[in-house]
């Protein structure tokens, strides 16, 4: 037996108090950063006047810090967990006591992660996810490594009880080298991060403006940011600089997040490790995977690279349960798919395309949208979009054509595969026995053409099969319902 007895309530690691303090102070700074900014600004502006306030401000911050520290210590002493009668029980709360009971057989996966504080103290954070509604996630902010491992096995016992004993070794499915990660970063669709950086820049500017305004220095700010005074060349330089920074940032982010990415499988157990500073370790049960999502684009395709998201049942859009894998090669992908779908292998079946009406409708909507925007802007603010239209209209049309070209689906006895995307190419894979709900919709236009959409809901996502011949759609609807209702397999 292990040296840890989980039947008696235990607290978090004592070192954990430091982590809790760190988290508390971090949250405090995040909430009050603008205040600090103002304080520092005031200090620079009028050091003499500032010192008269300094004692009061210092006292205020000191009291808050002491409150955070005391509060976190009390939190620590009132946080216990134990296992009793196949339930994981967690008690927390200083005045308002809160007890969470997780039945062990409902536990979906147990993940550990380490931020920098955790690593310095040689402890980990452990989170337990279970399928179900609210409050299905439990987090132990600080636990020693050995204890985390012991707790994992104790929690996993009831899961493995139901599974046949696997006398297998881990099979490595994916290993991503740092060079591949750089390649992934470079081949990323940088348009999105460009927009993000631009928005952030605008956000910082407007916030700065508020701060300047606060000190009656608005004119200075206006001088500083007057775009008319910036020459065209310096504007282009600024734009280029923004572009380079944002591209470097997104390459760096991918590298840091996914450094040392490894995925391996043993029987039903799926293990993923990644992260440079914040090390993440996922352990999930293959049977609980709800859907696979693959993504590639023109450039990535040239290098034979895929990004992949493994999704599990979600209660409220918590993306934590989604495991992201990047820089997966095609042969690794095939291996992973064959290991995940070992019981019912993926079979190639006929690709079905949506009716051409799908493209025509989207083009019509695009034209309508462009006309409305033009008319509204012209009559409301007398803004003429004609030059922008020359660029935007062909772009929209080609995006629509691309998204029609990339749209397809296929249905086999065991799987539904759906392809979509415009700039990137997306593929979603679900198993038919994991379907939760099916619906069929017909718009006015579709009715006239005798077409319909089928919407398939699984616990992690929704898949739309658009613009299928109505009779075919009805057949499919009946067939999929028959598949779900006649299966003895559990969805989770």
Residues in the site for other proteins, rule: CB under 8 A? 131-133, 290, 313-314, 317, 435-444, 447, 455, 457-462, 474-475, 477-479, 481-482, 484-485, 487, 491-492
Distance CA 480, CA 441 (A): 16
What are all long-range contacts of 318-322, with beta carbons under 8 Å and residues at least 24 apart?
318/137, 320/111, 320/127, 320/129, 320/137, 321/108, 321/109, 321/129, 322/460
Distance CA 332, CA 15 (A): 40
- List CB contacts of 124: < 8 A, sequence separation 6 or more: 112, 113, 114, 118, 142, 143, 144, 145, 148
Least separation, in Å, of the C-beta of 312 and other proteins? 10
Q: For 96-127, b where at least 16 C-beta lie within 10 A, e where not — what string?
A: eeeebebebebbbbbbbbbbebbeebebbbbb
Least separation, in Å, of the C-beta of 273 and other proteins? 27
94's tokens: 């200083």
Least separation, in Å, of the C-beta of 427 and other proteins? 20
Least separation, in Å, of the C-beta of 126 and other proteins? 24
Query: Of the two residues 155 and 452, which places its CB atom closer to other proteins in the complex?
Result: 452
Least separation, in Å, of the C-beta of 481 and other proteins? 6
Q: How many CA atoms lie within 13 A of 280 on its CB side?
A: 19
Mark out the alpha helices in 88-177 (DSSP H runs): 116-121, 145-162
Query: Of the two residues 97 and 317, which places its CB atom closer to other proteins in the complex?
Result: 317
Least separation, in Å, of the C-beta of 451 and other proteins? 12
CB 430 within 8 A of CB 461: yes
CB 196 within 8 A of CB 246: yes
Query: Of the two residues 137 and 332, which places its CB atom closer to other proteins in the complex?
Result: 137
485's tokens: 């209702």
Least separation, in Å, of the C-beta of 132 and other proteins? 8
CB 341 within 8 A of CB 347: no
182's tokens: 């750089």
**Across-strand partners of 451?**
469
Query: Of the two residues 271 and 462, which places its CB atom closer to other proteins in the complex?
Result: 462
52's tokens: 């008269």
Least separation, in Å, of the C-beta of 370 and other proteins? 21
**Across-strand partners of 124?**
143
Query: Of the two residues 45 and 447, which places its CB atom closer to other proteins in the complex?
Result: 447
CB 99 within 8 A of CB 81: no
3-state secondary structure at position 490: coil
Query: Of the two residues 246 and 290, which places its CB atom closer to other proteins in the complex?
Result: 290
Query: Comparing C-alpha atoms, which of 122, 150, 155, 128 is closest to residue 140?
Result: 128
Query: Comparing C-alpha atoms, which of 340, 317, 306 is closest to residue 427?
Result: 306
CB 467 within 8 A of CB 358: yes
CA distances (Å), 351 to each of 416, 431, 480, 482, in order? 11, 17, 17, 22
Query: Of the two residues 28 and 477, which places its CB atom closer to other proteins in the complex?
Result: 477
Least separation, in Å, of the C-beta of 248 and other proteins? 35
Query: Comparing C-alpha atoms, which of 135, 136, 143, 81 is closest to residue 112?
Result: 143
Least separation, in Å, of the C-beta of 325 and other proteins? 22
Least separation, in Å, of the C-beta of 345 and other proteins? 14
Query: Of the two residues 278 and 442, which places its CB atom closer to other proteins in the complex?
Result: 442
Least separation, in Å, of the C-beta of 459 and other proteins? 4
């Amino acid at each position: 037996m292990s040296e840890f007895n989980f039947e008696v309530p235990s607290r978090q690691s004592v070192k954990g108090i430091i982590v809790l303090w760190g988290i508390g102070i971090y949250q405090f700074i995040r909430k009050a950063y603008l205040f600090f900014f103002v304080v520092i600004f005031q200090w620079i502006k009028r050091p003499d006047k500032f010192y008269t306030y300094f004692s009061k401000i210092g006292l205020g911050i000191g009291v808050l810090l002491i409150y955070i520290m005391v509060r976190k210590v009390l939190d620590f002493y009132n946080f216990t967990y134990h296992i009793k009668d196949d339930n994981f029980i967690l008690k927390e709360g200083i005045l308002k006591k809160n007890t969470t009971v997780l039945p062990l057989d409902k536990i979906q996966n147990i993940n550990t992660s380490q931020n920098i504080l955790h690593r310095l103290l040689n402890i980990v954070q452990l989170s337990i996810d279970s399928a179900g509604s609210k409050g299905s996630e439990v987090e132990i902010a600080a636990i020693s490594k050995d204890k985390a491992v012991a707790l994992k096995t104790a929690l996993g016992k009831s899961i493995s009880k139901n599974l046949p004993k696997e006398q297998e070794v881990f099979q490595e499915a994916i290993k991503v080298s740092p060079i591949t990660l750089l390649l992934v970063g470079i081949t990323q669709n940088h348009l999105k991060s460009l927009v993000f950086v631009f928005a952030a820049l605008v956000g910082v500017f407007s916030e700065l403006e508020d701060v300047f305004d606060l000190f009656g220095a608005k004119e200075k700010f206006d001088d500083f940011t007057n775009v008319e005074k910036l020459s065209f060349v310096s504007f282009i330089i600024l734009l280029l600089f923004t572009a380079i920074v944002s591209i470097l940032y997104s390459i760096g982010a991918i590298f840091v997040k996914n450094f040392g990415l490894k995925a391996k499988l043993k029987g039903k157990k799926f293990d993923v490790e990644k992260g440079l500073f914040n090390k993440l370790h996922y352990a999930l049960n293959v049977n609980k995977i709800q859907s696979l999502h693959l993504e590639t684009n023109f450039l990535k395709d040239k290098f034979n690279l895929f990004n992949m998201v493994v999704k599990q049942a979600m209660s409220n859009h918590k993306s934590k349960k989604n495991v992201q894998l990047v820089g997966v090669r095609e042969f690794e992908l095939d291996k992973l798919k064959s290991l995940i779908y070992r019981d019912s292998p993926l079979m190639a079946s006929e690709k079905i395309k949506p009716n051409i009406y799908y493209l025509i409708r989207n083009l019509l909507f695009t034209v309508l949208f462009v006309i409305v925007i033009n008319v509204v802007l012209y009559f409301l603010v007398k803004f003429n979009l004609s030059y922008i239209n020359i660029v935007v209209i062909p772009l929209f049309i080609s995006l629509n054509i691309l998204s029609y070209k990339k749209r397809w689906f296929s249905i086999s006895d065991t799987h539904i595969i759906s392809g979509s995307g415009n700039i990137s190419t997306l593929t979603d894979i679900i198993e038919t026995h994991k379907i939760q709900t099916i619906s069929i919709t017909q718009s006015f236009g579709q009715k006239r053409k005798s077409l319909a959409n089928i919407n398939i809901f699984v616990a992690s996502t929704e898949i739309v099969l658009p613009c299928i011949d109505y009779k075919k759609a009805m057949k499919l609807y009946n067939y999929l319902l028959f598949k779900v209702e006649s299966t003895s397999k559990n969805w989770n």
